[in-house]
Amino acid sequence: MHGGFGRDSTFNNMAAAGPDFKKGFTDPLPVSNADIAPTLAYILGIQLPSIGKLQGRVLEEALPGGPAKARTRHAHVTSPPTAAGKTTTLHYQELQGRRYFDSASFN
């Protein structure tokens, strides 16, 4: 299922291989599809213009010489309750000013 907020949709696999990536590296940090283009552009030495709100980051931790660790901030936001008392909660991580959605629930 694409676009869901269950962990089966938000916790999936991304892999990269080649001389521009660390060998045998498992990245514990959150990543998204939006991070692919900036990372590849960085490797190729291309400057990408920043257009729009959806902007990825360079996955520096996956590159040789990149930092070994970085800290994420885990947080959540909950909607105001409806008249029936129902709320939606969105769980996410923040890294370098970007939010990575983990899951959402309706209670």
pLDDT computed for residue 2 by the predictor: 61
pLDDT computed for residue 63 by the predictor: 95
Quote the CA–CA distance of 62 and 78 in Å, as a whole number: 33
Q: Are 94 and 73 in contact (CB under 8 A)?
A: yes
Q: Are 9 and 102 in contact (CB under 8 A)?
A: no
pLDDT in tens, the chain (107 residues): 566 777 666 777 788 889 999 999 988 899 888 899 999 999 999 998 878 877 889 999 999 999 878 889 999 999 999 999 999 999 999 998 889 988 888 88
Q: Where are the domains of the chain?
A: 7-106
